[in-house]
Amino acid sequence: MRPLQKLYDDNGYQVALFSLQELYISQGDTGTASHDYSRYYATDCVGYINGNRVLRCPCYAPCDIELIWKNSTECCAMWKSINPVHLADGSISYIGIIVYHDNNIQNNTYYPIGTIKRQGEEFNKTGTGGNVTGDHVHIEIGKGIPNLSQYRYHFLENTDCKRIRIFNALFINDTTIIRNWSGYDWKTFTGGHPEPTPTKKHRYPFVLYARKLRDSHNWLSFIFII
């Protein structure tokens, strides 16, 4: 996605978009040692803009989201969508987002709990905070509403917000793929609008107002005749 990009489907749901301008996956959710893919789905991405490697690269909110939890020791944060969104698997659902390694989390200079970011606004950066070997962002997507009384560091199969592979959750509209991961079948959303399609206003309130005017007119006429 691009900075400040917004996308809605024909029914007014936001379309969930991949959070970086250019996609370069350094580690996927299968066949890797540090990602326990038997339990959770995680994708590591490094930052690129215009084909050039960028450290502390901005990540943009895939939809309207709210920060609900963070941990400076593990350098991770959890966000949740404010409303249900249109996912790449075709479903409409709330989502959760876990990110790791933004140095601001570790330094306790990250956003305060309750911060809201609108789709396309910067909400995170790649970084070197926590257990990491180089500047990148670790991303996990969960399908559903996160339950903070459950395990918070990863979305699992048995948590209320269930793990979902990132390419089944986020579309890659206006994202340049530099390095993909084997088995990652990304999708582009066809159509859509930069703003939600306005719904027709019901005419009933106008009818009530017209009746009120009519009744007022009749009452004044009655007073005048007397």
| pLDDT number for residue 32 | 72
Q: Rounded to the nearest 10 degrees, how much is the dihedral formed by the CA atoms of 34, 76, 127, 130?
A: -60
Strand partners, 138: 44, 100
How far is it, in rounded angstroms, from Cα 48 to Cα 222? Answer: 77
Task: Give CA angle at 34 (120, 47), nearest 5°.
Answer: 30
- Inter-residue contact 35 to 181 (CB < 8 Å): no
DSSP SS3 for 208:
helix
Q: Give the span between the Cα atoms of 84 and 154, in whole angstroms.
A: 20
Question: Distance between CA 223 and CA 215 in Å, rounded?
Answer: 13
Straight-line distance from the first to the last Cα atom of the chain, in angstroms, rounded to the nearest whole number: 72
Higher per-residue confidence, 9 vs 208:
9
Spatial distance between the Cα atoms of 163 and 45, rounded to a whole number of angstroms: 18
Going from the N-terminus, what domains does the chain have, and what CATH number goes with each?
22-179 (2.70.70.10)
Top pLDDT among 147 and 201 is at 147
Mean per-residue pLDDT, 159-173: 98
**DSSP 3-state of 87:** coil
- Tokens standing for residue 127: 């970084």
**pLDDT tens, residue by residue, 196-225:** 977 655 444 554 455 555 555 554 443 444
CA 27 → CA 61, 139, 183, distances in Å? 21, 11, 12
Give the β-pairing of 176-179 and 22-27.
Answer: parallel
Q: Which amino acid is at 111?
A: Y
Rounded to two decimals, the pTM is: 0.87
Name the CA dihedral angle for 136, 137, 138, 142, rounded to a multiple of 10 degrees.
-160
Q: Residue 84: which pLDDT band, with cuts at 50, 70 and 90?
A: very high
